[in-house]
A and B are shown apart, each in its own frame.
Chain A
């Protein structure tokens, strides 16, 4: 299978993640969709590394994994705090800041 197929798969995964962020209500699910987008980026990097014949893309994928892990730590802490205060993880309930 040519590496280009993996790029298309990455685009599809990224789009699924992006749509998920826009249509889902639960903050945890939104966050998982963002992680899906980051992993789609990883797949694209690795596929392009194969196509371009150098290792840069693979190295980038490692960095992205570390960054995603750090993001999980920060993100879950924030989501946990808001869940405990409101007993809800729905982003529609966070509606105090407006106008």
Chain B
């Protein structure tokens, strides 16, 4: 927030200057979301889906291309400048942010491909969300073939919030972005077509816990404002150490904002929502949350801890050590006992959040660049894995229970092979992107003096590898179950998402250098202040 307004003489309020071209990717996505709402209001029902598809994909692709253009050609980065804070100090445009935003946009395109898929079911989403599950109203809605097309603008609003969240340079913008990304997700979680009670429950849990944690985040922001007199990250950083009488406020603010951010990341002890929500939400939405939200939340964690609290490293590092160790161990160990594939991937996502935390703790350029690479490779693999989950189906919907996956490799070797590849990537087997990513984060952690973290990380990787390999054994070396699930033939949409995930996994595993050097290049200067 700028103080220009309050500082000016009465009657002459200067207009804020906004660098539209620098924040255009976000504006394109938000604009398309608003137009999507108008489409809902004015376009006849039959035409809505095609219009939404064109609008959604066009806006995401435009935003991605624009982000690349800014990163490649902008004069912002000339003469070694770290970047620029646009929109009166609200939005930072710097290299790490552009990398994160590009990553989010690619994953969002893949997730929206899954959301848009209507081949193996009418849609993954409820035809009439307002109808009570099991009621006559619901049945007539199903027979009439009603489909909610509001999911496209909701997804776009959420993606827009995810783009803004890691880019916000003051904590007010960050709070608003947090809510803009969360509120549509709460709704999307509750819109599953099948198993609607589970979906409602996921939405309620996510909503109550999510708003609880954002209240903590906001109170932390209030404390930091009380400490420094500003909500801007740079001003907080420069106030640190000058205001020794109010240190309580600083540390309370650090703890509470950290809590809010770690909740979104899903770090232990704030991880309990993740398995429930990932399991209950429609699988395409789970893919969106597991990839884009995690990337966006880590972007915000990195920015807040590196910029605002960059000089307090010695204070927050021990806490984040404990959090990282807890996250890796709890994620890997509890995943062993899981029987549901989405729940298992949720615990695996918690463990991976712990691996990324080891690089965050390093608080260095290599910590930043390795987390960026890890987020890119992990997110794309995750979207691919959830895309495969949408394809293994029973008459009642997706067959998520692991016992139903037995012998899948004998019925559908290609699909099971691709899923096995994703699992090996999660496990971090060499020649997959997971290995490169883990190597990079552990290297950064060692360079940052966090050897014990790396040891815990390697041990929990080994534990995690056990349950990943167990699924592979289950798919390939056990007999298929009677009346087992069918494997739907992927449509163009899901097929593209699976192909994208596979391609990213293989390419980032065998020739990681281009993306690694892109991440290194993005992280040369940390964040703009």
A, B in one complex: yes
Q: Which residues of A contact B (CB under 8 A)?
A: 7, 10, 14, 17-18, 21, 27, 30-31, 34, 37-38, 40-41, 44-45, 47-49, 51-57, 59-60, 63-64, 67, 70-71, 74-75, 77-79, 81-82, 84-86, 91, 94-99
Q: Which residues of B, 186-200, contact A by the 8 Å Cβ criterion? A: 186-187, 190, 196-198, 200
Interface residue count for B (Cβ, 8 Å)? Answer: 49
Complex: chain B residue closest to A45, CB-CB: B222
CB-based contact A97/B276 at 8 Å: yes
Contacts of A52 in B (CB 8 A): 225-226, 229
- Contact with B183, one of A60, A64, A70 (Cβ below 8 angstroms): A70
Contacts of B132 in A (CB 8 A): 84-85
Contacts of A82 in B (CB 8 A): 200-201, 203-204
Additional A-B contact list (14), CB under 8 Å, known A18-B212, A74-B207, A77-B187: A14-B215, A31-B208, A34-B212, A48-B226, A56-B230, A60-B221, A71-B179, A74-B186, A81-B130, A85-B132, A91-B208, A94-B201, A97-B279, A99-B339
- Contact with B215, one of A37, A45, A59 (Cβ below 8 angstroms): A37
Contacts of A64 in B (CB 8 A): 175, 218
CB-based contact B225/A45 at 8 Å: yes
**Secondary structure at chain B's binding surface: helix, strand, loop or mixed?**
helix
CB-based contact A94/B196 at 8 Å: no
Closest Cβ of chain A to B55, distance in Å, is 22
Q: Which residues of B contact A (CB under 8 A)?
A: 1, 3, 5-6, 129-130, 132-133, 172, 175-176, 179, 183, 186-187, 190, 196-198, 200-205, 207-208, 211-212, 215-216, 218-219, 221-223, 225-226, 229-231, 275-276, 279-280, 337-339, 343
CA distance A41 to B179 in the complex (A): 15
Closest Cβ of chain A to B78, distance in Å, is 32
Contacts of A57 in B (CB 8 A): 222, 225
CB-based contact A94/B204 at 8 Å: yes
Contacts of A95 in B (CB 8 A): 201
CA distance A90 to B3 in the complex (A): 45
Contacts of A96 in B (CB 8 A): 197-198, 201
Contacts of A71 in B (CB 8 A): 179, 183, 211
Contacts of B5 in A (CB 8 A): 55
Knowing A37-B215, A41-B215 are in contact, say whether A54-B3 is a contact too (CB < 8 A): yes
CB-based contact B222/A54 at 8 Å: no
Contacts of A60 in B (CB 8 A): 1, 172, 221-222, 225, 231
Knowing A56-B231, A67-B176 are in contact, say whether A34-B208 is a contact too (CB < 8 A): yes
